[in-house]
Amino acid sequence: MRADGKINTLVLGSGGREHSIAHYLSKSDLTGDLHCAPGNPGMMEIAAIHRADPCDRRAVLGLCKAYGIGLVVIGPEAPLAAGVSDSLRASGVRVFGPGRAGASLESSKSFAKKFMRRHGVPTSDFDICTDPDECREAISRRTHPYVIKADGLAAGKGVFLADDAGDAEQICRDLLIEKKLGAAGETVVIEDFVSGLELTVFAITDGDSYRLMSPSRDHKRAYDGDKGPNTGGMGAYSPVRVPNDFMRRVEEEVIRPTLKGLRSDGIEYRGVIYMGLMLVGGGDARDEPGISVIEYNVRFGDPETQAVLPLFRGDLARTLLACADGDVKSCPEVDNSGAALCVVLASGGYPGGFVRSLPIRGLEGGCGESEDFPGSFIFHAGTDLDRDGRLVTAGGRVLTVVGVGGTFEAAKARAYARISSISFDGMHYRKDIGWSEE
């Protein structure tokens, strides 16, 4: 904490999620100097950016010392799984993000499934296999579609669905013998398929108390109508229409047993738990659909965060600092109000191969709201500056454009109006984000 009561803050990561976190931290009067590593050109409007690898603990610790950092907020999963939080905490730095043990909820699918079974968190039945014979046996006891997950972190490429048992066995051999995902696929989880409506709830927690954020849904397929290949996410919206009593049930059936389980396993957890949930049976019109946990993540989702944070009426910096201090109970219960929708502008060809370094037009006025575009924000995801300082594309997902309003329709109109002012060669995006709410 500085003499003026503010706190210098470092955000680790470089995508749209981290840009949006930095944006809302910058709105707090608690935030002193804001730093991001490695950051992106969009973040330069609000923060100093540093070309450090977020997984390199020494480099991160060096930044903390050099800039008097009082709070580190870790965006992506890789530094969490690498134990960067543990190292920073051991050096006395306050951190929002779990240590390596807590990060196992995401970095090991087998750990997460066993954890849920052990602690009574609802999830589909499963087997954990390390050789093809075990896989064949596990597949023979199930019906299609077969769900196969690589155990480790695989940058969103570790989940497979197969309609045919032979194809499912081949996927297992590719992972276990051909090592197509390297060490991440040396163990596989084979689980029962669960159908229903998928949605996400974030809980900010110190392992004891928690605050839930507005439920959201992302769109993973590349093209309209949920068609085409899977991507890292082409857009998201919040809130999602949920059955009466849904959030109370998430508390009772998922978050409380999860936190109790973490405590009984001796895992201290300070950060966000992303609960990937399936509403099973009858859709959201029924009063009592079942809840099944598809996955945990140990960080905010991308792009869900860009649609959830605009609705959070609390002070993000104070909330994340309280969490880092193990004092979430001191955070007021705040409403999440209004609606937000975000659309990812992607490079031509994404999620396959794409060309980089293409000039981006339409961001000359910056990322924030403007008179022409009230209630809309741009968060950079995969951008860079070329040698002449021009903004260019540098990734598959290039920008996230967010619209915020009192209603879903207003938010949607604002997001798409802003998109009409932005272009780069090959740009593609979905025109139907939020279709399931209409």
- Footprint on this chain of ligand GLY (rule: CB under 6 A): 218, 233, 297, 301-302, 304
Sign of CA dihedral 247, 238, 315, 268: positive
Beta-strand pair 339-346/235-238: antiparallel
Residue 87 or 297 with smaller CB distance to ligand GLY: 297
Residue environment code for 26-37, b if the CB has 16+ CB neighbours within 10 A, otherwise e: bebebbbbbbbb
The distance of closest approach from Cβ of residue 301 to ligand GLY in the complex, given in angstroms and rounded to an integer, is 3
The distance of closest approach from Cβ of residue 300 to ligand GLY in the complex, given in angstroms and rounded to an integer, is 8
Residue 104 or 297 with smaller CB distance to ligand GLY: 297
The distance of closest approach from Cβ of residue 109 to ligand GLY in the complex, given in angstroms and rounded to an integer, is 13
The distance of closest approach from Cβ of residue 76 to ligand GLY in the complex, given in angstroms and rounded to an integer, is 9
Residue 300 or 373 with smaller CB distance to ligand GLY: 300
Residue environment code for 241-268, b if the CB has 16+ CB neighbours within 10 A, otherwise e: ebbeebbebbeebbbebbbebbeeeebb
DSSP 250: I
DSSP string across 266-277? T----EEEEEEE
Closest CA to 203 of 14, 66, 331: 331
Residue 226 or 327 with smaller CB distance to ligand GLY: 226
The distance of closest approach from Cβ of residue 297 to ligand GLY in the complex, given in angstroms and rounded to an integer, is 5
Angstrom distance (rounded) from CA 376 to CA 240:
19
Give me the residue whose beta carbon is nearest to ligand GLY. 301
Angstrom distance (rounded) from CA 45 to CA 233:
25
In degrees and rounded to multiples of 5, residue 103 shows phi and psi of -65, -15
Residue 301 or 434 with smaller CB distance to ligand GLY: 301
361, two tokens: 């037009």
Residue 279 or 298 with smaller CB distance to ligand GLY: 298
The distance of closest approach from Cβ of residue 356 to ligand GLY in the complex, given in angstroms and rounded to an integer, is 22
